[in-house]
Amino acid sequence: MKILNIVGARPNFMKMAPIIEAMNQYPDQIQHLLVHTGQHYDEKMSKAFFDDLGMPKPDIDLEVGSGSHAEQTARIMVEFEKVCLREKPDLVIVVGDVNSTMACTITAKKLGIKVAHVEAGLRSRDMNMPEEINRLCTDVLCDYLFTTDRIADENLKGEGVAEEKIFFVGNVMIDTLLKHKAMAEQLPLRETLGLAPDGYATLTLHRPSNVDDPQVLQGILDALAEIAGRLPILFPIHPRTRKMIQQFGFEAYFRTGERIAGPGIWLTDPLGYLEFLHLNMTARLVLTDSGGLQEETTVLGVPCITLRHNTERPITCEEGTNILVGNHKEKILAAAQTVLNRPGRAGRIPEKWDGHAAERIVEVLVAREG
């Protein structure tokens, strides 16, 4: 069985790493190639993750880069079609919900190639999110839908997906987290930055709905500045957010420096996987609009405040440590107050988020296709 594994953007890398490792256990049955679309291309958004995760270098790099959604998606499709025609895979595996996920799915299916989607069935029901469109288009076309929880199974069944295509396997991102936790713990970064366990918050922010409108972004930054008066916030900044902050002239909200000296929102370049895991493990609070971080904090038992009105990962609120607050200043502040005024950590780990999801995926594929 010849498989093309697809990655494109930062959140894909930690999902694909354990799948590749699990495939390597079947050298007689599986031949696999890693395709990087090049959606993310900055050293700190891409290569650093390959190094951290011990991933093999991509066999094929499409180098598509940034652009409008149509441009980026179209470029990936044109380049990936050539790869499919040349390599003639039996199966393509896509992960997550980025433009690369959808573009490669459509391309492969139109050539009659089977596609498996890892992290299928997540739904925010918010069609303003580009990722929701990517999820819907991907899932309707795929032959194998590997899910992280039973809510996703129900979403898919509700959309008419045949039950025999759905496989509840658990969460590959958590495979990676559990594998690297001990290693991340050993890093000296927290001390280098002058941070004490439970003495800081971390922040990620990059959704267009939060960072593209100056009024919305200003409201969020006002709330964060107040929280940062009580607890320093470390903010590894995404390139698109950096661009918007410069465009709107919001630089005064931030501090920079080698060490976190006192209150404030402290900017750093994007961090590597291990560094960020290291910092999140002992954060008092995580503030985010990312998808994956909602799941990682649930497993780490660290309180997470999600600056979005909806989530495609409701299990992190039902069972984990996540609170959805939207992006209005007062709501963000009230949630932070609640979390900071209550001691300890809460939540439980969802079913099958146990470090073995990738093995389950590959077992299914070998049994059915091998």
Q: What residues line the site for ligand UD1 (CB under 6 A)? A: 9-11, 39-42, 45, 66, 97-99, 130-131, 206, 238-240, 243
Provide the pairing of β-strand 233-236 with 166-168.
unpaired
Contact 98, 69 (CB under 8 A): no
Q: In which residue are the tokens 């600056």 written?
A: 307
Q: Which is nearer to ligand UD1, 30 or 279 (CB)?
A: 279
Q: Which is nearer to ligand UD1, 65 or 158 (CB)?
A: 65
| Torsion angle of the four alpha carbons 360, 363, 364, 366, in this order, in degrees rounded to the nearest 10 | 160
- Rounded alpha-carbon distances, angstroms, from residue 248 to 152, 217, 224, 257, 326: 38, 9, 17, 22, 21
Query: What is the three-class DSSP state of 326?
Result: coil
Query: What is the three-class DSSP state of 287?
Result: strand
Strand locations in the chain, DSSP E? Answer: 2-7, 31-36, 60-61, 91-95, 114-118, 144-147, 166-168, 201-203, 233-236, 254-255, 265-268, 285-288, 304-306, 322-324
Q: How far is the CB of 78 from ligand UD1 (least distance, A)?
A: 17
Q: How far is the CB of 40 from ligand UD1 (least distance, A)?
A: 4
Q: Which is nearer to ligand UD1, 313 or 356 (CB)?
A: 313
114 bridge partner residues: 91
Q: How far is the CB of 85 from ligand UD1 (least distance, A)?
A: 24
Which has the closest alpha carbon to 15: 94, 99, 84, 73?
Answer: 94
Q: Rounded to whole angstroms, how far apart are CA atoms 116 and 96? A: 11
Phi and psi based region of residue 200 (left: phi greater than 0; alpha: psi -120 to 50; beta: remaining): beta
Q: Which is nearer to ligand UD1, 71 or 251 (CB)?
A: 71
288 bridge partner residues: 306
Q: Which is nearer to ligand UD1, 13 or 167 (CB)?
A: 13
Q: How far is the CB of 125 from ligand UD1 (least distance, A)?
A: 16
Query: What is the three-class DSSP state of 156?
Result: helix
* Active-site annotation holds for 69: no
Residues written for the chain? 370
Provide the pairing of β-strand 285-288 with 322-324.
unpaired
Q: How far is the CB of 17 from ligand UD1 (least distance, A)?
A: 16
Q: How far is the CB of 363 from ligand UD1 (least distance, A)?
A: 28
Q: Which is nearer to ligand UD1, 52 or 97 (CB)?
A: 97
- From 32, 117, 206, 278, active-site residue: 206
Q: Which residues are catalytic?
A: 206
